[in-house]
Structure 1
Amino acid sequence: MSLVVYLAALVFGMTSVLLFRRPRTAMRNPLTQSTCAAIVLGALVFVCAAPATLATVNELTGVPNFGAPLTYGMLSAYSCAVLVLLINWRGGSRERVRRMVLRTMAAYGLLVVAIVVLFALADADTERLTDLDTYYAGTPFMREMILLYLLGHTAAMLVMCAVCVKWGREVGGLLRAGLRLILLGALLDVVGFQLTKYTAVVARWSGHDLDFLSTTVAPPMASLAALLCSAGFALPRLLPPVVAHWRGLGDYRRLDPLWSLVKSVSTAPKPPASWWQLPQARLQWREVSIHDALLALAPYFDHRVRERVRDTALGAGRSPHEARLAAEAAMLADAARRAVAGEEPPETPGTYRLHATEVLGPSGLVELAQTLDRPPAASGGAVPSSRTGPMAEPEEPHVA
């Protein structure tokens, strides 16, 4: 059982590591701080609740069941952190947020103190590593301590459920998806963990034995609930950059035909070769290098080539935009051939801006690269027969 709990704590804690991947930025963001604090405390609850940890803590302190107030106090701190996270997530004026956070921390701080005091007053000399809640359900002071930590956690989860339902009607997209995951996790916590604990404790009061609900059913339900909540908190924060890097990797690869054509004339400095470099950084470097190469090739643009291919594409029924892309691809391929062959620029140069340089981001370059990679029939015409000499290439804007 300890191994399963430790594994849940590890998975839970890794979410915090991902969110805290940029410490300097994260430390200035209250939302990131509170998210990481809630997830770390949740992971610590699992670590403290593992039977192996409880046995070690009891042995080191020399106090039977000392791990109980430690675990319950950590769970109360986690409940407080969840509420603080919700407060920061909701936002508002700085003073209002600060006031609500302080009130929440004060309330749960008193709860932790009460748990410790009640444990100190109780007679709990028999060590129980898995069934303490039901074993001491009728013991004075221990009974109150158990109910107190359960009520504190229940209050936090019910507030979270209410907030998620309310906010879910006001937002959309990833934020709504995250709220639904949090709501699912909170409901699972209430039903699968807390309700089973309450049922097992009340059963003991009435002379029945339903301890399996507390010892067998509740722990895995609590683990699953916490993982769902952490996923809900992290999803709106982690998924957008992940999607952005995935798209960046796709754009980086789609630029290959264009980069293969112009890389020989690019003078942009090469970045250090790092296999771990993020796709967005690789894409940014390739964009800069391609734009640098396009500037170098501009004097070699032959506008007669462009106009001829454009007219051919329009005559073939292509849209004006497709015809322009096909014409620019042909002109660029011709310019690259001239530059590599050391030929003189055309006698009638002119000022012309490629479509790829008129739009922000890599989309224009990607369009140009994909036009280069299409067969001549699809791109609206081949590169004209001005390609002559020993370095002539097939008469098409395709670059392998």
Structure 2
Amino acid sequence: MSLVVYLAALVFGTTSVLLFRRPRAAMRNPLTLSTCVAIVLGALVFVCAAPATLATVNDLTGVPNFGAPLTYGMLSAYSCAVLVLLINWRGGPRARVRRMVLRTMAAYGLLVLAIVVLFLLADADTERLTDLDTYYAGTPFMREMILLYLLGHTAAMLVMCAVCVKWGREVRGLLRAGLRLILLGAALDVVGFQLTKYTAVVARWTGHDLDFLSTSVAPPMASLAALLCSAGFVLPRLLPPVVAHWRGLDDYRRLDPLWCLVRSVSTAPKPPSSWWQSPRARLQWREVSIHDALLTLAPYFDHGVRVRVRDGALRAGRSPHQARLAAEAAMLTDAARRAAAREEPPEAAATYRLHATEVPGPSGLVELAQALRHPPGRTAAPGGAEPSAMTGTLTEPEEPHVA
């Protein structure tokens, strides 16, 4: 059982490392800090509750069952951290948030103190590593200590369930998904861990033996509940940057056709070694470099090429936007060929603004790159006829000296 509990603690604690990857920023953000504290305390609860840890703590202190108040106190601290996290997540006036946090910490601080005092007053000389709750269910002071830590944890989980249900009606997207995971984890904790503990303890009071609920059912349910809650806490905070990085990497890759065409004329300074840079940083550098190259190629734009390809694409059934992209791709390819061959700019060259320079972000450049990759001259027009007006002008990207 210890191995399973340690594994749950490792997975649970790893999420805090992901959130705390930038310590300075995390320390200045109460929400990130309280999330990390709650997850770390949850992982410590599992570490303390493992039979191997309990035996070690008891041996080191020389006090039988000293691991019990340690574990219960840690669980109470975790319950407090969860409530503090919910308070920071809800937000509001700083004075009100601070007041609610202090009150919560004071209440659970008294709870931890009561657990320690009750343990000191109790007669618990027989070491129990897995069934302490049921074994001492009828022992004075130990009975009260067990009920006290369960009630403190139940209160925190019920508040979490109520808050998640209420907020779930007010939010959308990833935040709602995270709240649903937290709600599922909290509900599983209440039913799978706490209810089974209560049932096993009450069964002892009535002379029945349902210890397996406390020793075999409750621990794995608590582990699963904690993992669901941690996933719900970190999902709204980690997934958006992950998605943004993935999109940046995808856009960077999709810009390859355009970059291969214009990089020979780009004068933008090259960045330092890029193996450590994020996808978004590499994408931004490529955007800047491409825009710089487009400015260099602007004098070579042949608007006769652009008009012929645009008209041909419109006759082939393309939408005005698709026709414009195809025409600009053909004109840009022709300009890159002229620049590579060191030809004189066309006499009819005039100022023209590409669609890719009219829209913010990389979307316009990506569209232009995809138009270069799939020129309309390679696809049949409606009815199976080849648009000859476009085919003649779009064969030039195949020339090796342009790439």
**Per the shorter chain, which TM-score range?**
over 0.9
Q: Deviations over 1:111-145 (max 9, x none)?
A: 00111111111111111111111111111111111
2:34 corresponds to 1:34: yes
Residues 61, 274 of structure 1: alpha-carbon distance in 2 compared, 3 angstrom cutoff: farther
Whichever residue aligns with residue 240 of structure 1, its letter is P
Show CA shifts across 1:148-205 (max 9, x none).
0000000000011111111111111111111111111001000000001011111111
The offset of 1:306, in angstroms, is 1.1
Partners in 2 of 1:342 and 1:60 — Cα distance? 82
Q: How many pairs were matched up?
A: 394
Unmatched tracts of structure 2, length 5 or more: 381-386
**C-alpha separation between the residues in 2 aligned to 1:382 and 1:330?**
9
Please say if 1:350 is aligned against 2:357: no
Paired residues of 2:312 and 2:390 also in contact (CA < 8 A): no
1:52 paired with 2:83, answer no
What residue is the counterpart of 2:72 in the other structure?
72
CA distance in structure 1 between the aligned counterparts of 2:391 and 2:22, rounded to whole angstroms: 49
Partner deviation per Cα, 1:4-29 (whole Å, 9 max, x = no partner): 11111111111111111222222111
Letter of the structure 2 residue corresponding to residue 290 of structure 1: I
Structure 1 partner of 2:338: 338
Query: 1:201-260: per-residue Cα shift (whole Å, max 9, x none)?
Result: 111111111111111000000000000011111111111111111111111111111111
Partner of 2:383: none
Moved more, 272-281 or 258-267: 272-281
Match of 2:140 in 1: 140
Q: Is the 8 A contact 1:26 1:32 kept in 2?
A: yes
- 2:226 aligns with 226
Partners of 1:305 and 1:384 within 8 A in 2: no
Counterpart Cα distance in 2 of 1:243 and 1:24? 23
Cα distance between partner residues in 2 of 1:224 and 1:207: 30
Instruction: State how far apart, in whole Å, the 2-side matches of 1:255 and 1:246 are.
Output: 14
1:8 counterpart residue number: 8
Paired residue for 2:372?
372
- Other-structure match for 2:161: 161
Q: What amino acid is aligned across from residue 269 of structure 1 in structure 2?
A: P
1:94 counterpart residue number: 94
**Matching residue of 2:304:** 304
Aligned-pair CA distance for 1:384: 5.1
Between the aligned partners of 2:190 and 2:242, the Cα distance in structure 1 is 32
Q: CA-to-partner distance for each residue in 1:277-325, whole Å, 9 max, x for gaps? A: 3221221121111111111211211122112211221222222111111
- Amino acid of the structure 1 residue aligned with 2:40: V
- Kindly state the Cα deviation for residue 276 of structure 1 after the two structures are TM-superposed: 4.3
CA distance in structure 2 between the aligned counterparts of 1:276 and 1:8, rounded to whole angstroms: 31
In structure 2, the residue matched to 1:113 is: 113
How far has the Cα of 1:378 moved from its partner?
4.4
Q: Secondary structure at the match of 2:204?
A: helix
**Bigger Cα displacement from structure 2, 8-17 vs 335-344:** 335-344
| Aligned counterparts of 1:59 and 1:174: Cα–Cα separation in 2 | 46
Distance of 2:274 and 2:361 partners within structure 1: 23
Q: Is the 8 A contact 1:334 1:383 kept in 2?
A: no
Residues 202-281 of structure 1 correspond to what in structure 2 (within 5 A)? Answer: 202-281=202-281
Letter in 1 for 2:219: P
Return 5+ residue gaps in structure 1 as ranges. none
Residue 327 of structure 1 is matched in structure 2 by 327
Verify the 8 A CA contact 2:137 2:204 in the aligned structure 1.
yes
Give the equivalent residue in structure 1 for 2:384: none
CA contact (8 A) 1:79 1:152 kept: yes
> Residue 350 of structure 2 aligns to a residue in which SS?
coil
Partner letter of residue 281 of structure 1?
A
Assess if the C-alpha contact under 8 Å between 2:137 and 2:146 holds in 1: yes
The answer to whether the 8 Å contact 1:20/1:36 transfers is yes
Q: 1:92 to 1:68 in 2, by over 3 A?
A: same
1:18-62 per-residue CA deviation (whole Å, 9 max, x = no partner) reads: 111222222111111111111111011111111111111111111
Q: Distance in 2 between matches of 1:385 and 1:198?
A: 80
Deviation at 1:347, TM superposition (A): 2.0
Q: Which is worse superposed, 149-158 or 272-281?
A: 272-281
- CA RMSD in angstroms comes to 1.9
Q: Using the alignment, how far apart are the partners of 1:299 and 1:233 within structure 2?
A: 54
Q: Structure 1, residues 344-391: CA drift from partner, whole Å, max 9, x if none?
A: 22223211111001101110001000000004244976475599xxxx
Match of 2:317 in 1: 317
Q: CA deviation at 1:335?
A: 0.9
Contact 2:184 2:225 in 1 (8 A): yes
Question: Which residue identity does 1:214 align to in structure 2?
Answer: S
Q: Which stretch shows the higher mean deviation, 368-377 or 208-217?
A: 368-377
- 1:104 maps to 2:117: no
- Greater Cα shift, 331-340 or 363-372: 331-340
Asked whether the equivalents of residues 255 and 365 of structure 1 are also in contact (C-alpha less than 8 Å), the reply is yes
